[in-house]
Amino acid sequence: MQKVKMLAAVLGTGTLLMTGAAATALAQHAEAPGGYYLEYHRQLQQEQQQERQEMRHEFQEERQEFREELREDNRDYRDSVIEENRAHRDMLREEAREETREKVKERQQAAQDAPREENDKLIRRDPAQREEMREQRQEQRRETGDAQREHKQEKREVHIERRRDVHEDRRGLQEDQQQRRRVLHERQQQERRDHQQEQREQRQHRPGFDQGHRHLRDNAAPRRDGTRGSTQQRGTIQQRSRAHRGEQPERNLNR
């Protein structure tokens, strides 16, 4: 009361209009143990918010570095696949050119061994020879078709085997990336748990921690169901705010 009277003398006669109950509540609020706890709680919230921001910034930097590494791996893999495809296409083109050269040589050799005019004369002169020539041509077509089919089948098998190797490499790269993501996630979770444990230990060793919590626990009103939980802090602060404004605190009808 003495502090309130001194404050009223400094501020003027308007302060003297305060009721006795409001003046008493103001003095009690200024000297209450919970006033220290409110200031401590505000500072603690600020520190926790700053620490969370720093941790979030750290995790974002690590995640960005990991994404850059993944992009680099994908870029290298894509370049290797493109280079391999180019080399395979060059090989197929060279094989096709070689086949064309061999066919041209065979045709030239056949033309030199049996000129067309002589073959035409033989065919027109002897029906048996004409039939034999027809059978030889059919046999050559069959052999040529079989060789072509075998060559296509070999190219198809080579292509399938090469694609299988590419898919296996891709699967191995994906498994490696998943393992790296899993390791990064576990490390971040462990760092977060360690940081939270360190925060709890630091809060417990700060001066006034037990006093503030004891004051909060003793003066907090229970909830409607009779339990005390996370809302008790808010209820205590609201009661002090009403007492500071000179209002009557709410009555708990469950008591």
CA distance 50 to 52: 5
* Three-class SS state of 237: helix
Distance in angstroms (rounded) separating the CA atoms of residues 58 and 65: 11
**Rg of the chain, C-alpha, whole Å:** 46
Buried b (16+ CB within 10 A) or exposed e, 27-65: beeeebebeebbebbeebeeeeeeeeeeeeeeeeeeeee
- Taking only the tens place, the pLDDT of each residue in 152-172 is 788 778 878 877 887 788 788
Residue 124: pLDDT band (50, 70, 90) is low
State the alpha helices, DSSP H only, in 205-252: 209-219, 231-244
CB-CB contact of 236 with 219 (8 Å)? yes
Quote the tokens at residue 141: 């077509």
Helices then strands, counting H and E runs in the chain, come out as 7, 0
Rounded to two decimals, what is the model's pTM?
Answer: 0.32
pLDDT tens track for 24-49:
554 454 444 555 667 778 888 888 88
Tell me the C-alpha distance between 21 and 246, whole Å. Answer: 7
Mean pLDDT calculated for residue range 56-71: 84
Q: What's the DSSP call for residue 97?
A: H
pLDDT in tens, 199-246: 888 777 655 545 445 545 555 555 566 555 544 444 555 565 565 566
